[in-house]
Structure 1
Amino acid sequence: MLTRTDRAEPYSLFAPVYNYHMRYVNYVYWSRYLLKLMQKNGIEKGNLLEIAAGTGTLASYLKPHFKSYMISDISKDMLKQSKSGLQKICFDMRKFPLKTRFDIVLSAFDSINYILSPGEIKKVFDNVSAVLPGGGKFLFDTSLERNSHVYSTIFKKPIRIKDFVVKQESRYDSEEKIHTNTFTFEFESGKIIREIHRQRIYTVAEIEEILTASGFTEIKKFDSFSFREGNEESFRIQFIAGK
């Protein structure tokens, strides 16, 4: 029985309201950007694995452009919200169960930032490298410190869904480099449950160093949603790492 101040696993209670929370995200624009980025960099649209894909909304726009498209996420609750017709598998990206090779591995919307130590990120990058053949590409983005400084001060209105209200509090610890989002679910019964989402903010140099250690020899970085080279002053970086 949940208590009044219980705590839930990230993306358990939040999963059913995630798509509503993200309703302002322009997935059409985002998918077109990624497709154009691949085109400009000569990336063939073969077999793709999207890790930390959440509810698969981005995948639903990208899937028609690829030979095959598989989504994965650590949260079964998030995958349950995805549309039918998507091939999906639940796993932790630090522990790949797959032996299948993919031409492209994709991760989007700061998912890599949820990995809280360089050693754990190395495990993710090693796993990605293992399922990519020579010439395979890894596309992912990371949120940088500038983004955290700006968005930790923005207040979001509470969301009312059925019999509960969701409130979000965002804060950034610049010493620990940890960005914390706390989602508080207040039920009409008086019960309060919190989900705490923590992200580590890495520098571009740290990410490049770990990619190199995982066997990626070609690394490109773009200011997110553009084709300009990104740097430490960017809000978010879009990486393309090749073997």
Structure 2
Amino acid sequence: MQNYSLLAKYYDHFMDHVAYSSWANFIENLITKNNLRTEIILEIAAGTCRLVESMQNIAYQQYICTDLSLPMLQQSKNSFPKAVVDICHIPFADNSVNMVLMTYDAFNYLNPEQASQALSEVRRVLQKGGAFIFDVSTEYNSLKWFDDYCDVLKIDGATIVRESNYDFNLAVQHNNFTFFMPTEEKDIYRQQKEHHVQYVYSEEMLEDWLCDKGFEVAAKYGDFELGNTKNNTERIHFMAVKP
């Protein structure tokens, strides 16, 4: 089963703890403080396009929401332009956007080869001085919250079980979703599965990759605080600029 083909319908319920307005405010402040251009913003892995709904304090001419999963985009109710896009093959011209956003550890879904290609593509489509703002989930976050973890969501007659574990040796996070979907027969359910894999990268590795691809790491934020990356940091935001 392709990732997010089934989960898309229930994704916002799993994410109801996320304060999108606060996240958007953080990004808006980052944009304002660094005087970044925002005429054309491309959001990669936008999911159900919740972030853009809270991005109300910056001026832009066009905000394009993209995701690899069509079912995820179809769950969105807003009217922003949307497109199915693979970050490894962005169908935009060179130097065509001012900013690329990729939030909520979407970058962790890229394996090393994909990550390398993605960084090349992002740099290609960015204009000079354009910024790539993205975040990653850390190993500390996986070990603290998602190693031998299980939760259950019951909604609309369906039961979804999420089981997570972290492979320390490979630095890989596994998230297994099992869907028990109701059928027309009473007490009979159809079982389907999705297996999500996330790759955990160190701060140093990401900085090296960004520099190798020709970016300048203009800022790093540990748990939404400038430069505050520690051993117990759960999330790191990078602001990488194309010089």
**What's the % identity of the aligned pairs?**
31
Query: CA contact under 8 A between 1:204 and 1:231: conserved in structure 2?
Result: no
Q: Is the 8 A contact 1:63 1:69 kept in 2?
A: no
Partner of 1:172: 166
Deviation of 1:131 (Å) = 0.8
Tell me how far apart the structure 2 counterparts of residues 69 and 178 of structure 1 sit (CA, whole Å): 32
> 1:95: which partner in 2?
89
**Which shows bigger deviation, 31-40 or 210-219?**
210-219
Preserved contact between residue 45 and residue 106 of structure 2 (Cα < 8 Å):
yes
Alignment of 1:141-220 (within 5 A): 141-153=135-147, 155=149, 157-188=151-182, 189-220=188-219
Q: Which runs of 5 or more residues in structure 1 are unaligned?
A: 1-7
Please list the CA deviations of residues 85-133 of structure 1 after superposition, one character each: whole Å capped at 9, or x if unmatched. Answer: 111110111111111611110000000000012x221100000001111
What is the TM-score of this pair, normalised by structure 2? 0.91
Aligned partner of 1:55 in structure 2 is: 48
- Mark the CA change 1:233 to 1:219 in structure 2 (over 3 Å): closer, same or farther: farther
Q: CA deviation at 1:63?
A: 5.8
C-alpha separation between the residues in 2 aligned to 1:87 and 1:215? 29
1:127 aligns with 2:121: yes
Between Structure 1 and Structure 2, which shows a larger proportion of strand residues?
2
Q: In angstroms, what is the RMSD of aligned CA positions?
A: 1.7
* d(CA) in 2 for partners of 1:84, 1:143: 27
Q: C-alpha distance in 2, partners of 1:52/1:155? A: 24
Alignment partners' CA distance in 2, 1:229 and 1:163: 43
Deviates more, 1:161-170 or 1:185-194: 185-194
| 1:230 positional shift | 2.4
Contact 1:144 1:235 in 2 (8 A): yes
After superposing the two structures, state which structure 1 stretch, 26-35 or 229-238, moved more. Answer: 229-238
SS at match of 2:164: strand
In the TM superposition, what is the alpha-carbon distance from 1:64 to its structure 2 partner? 6.3
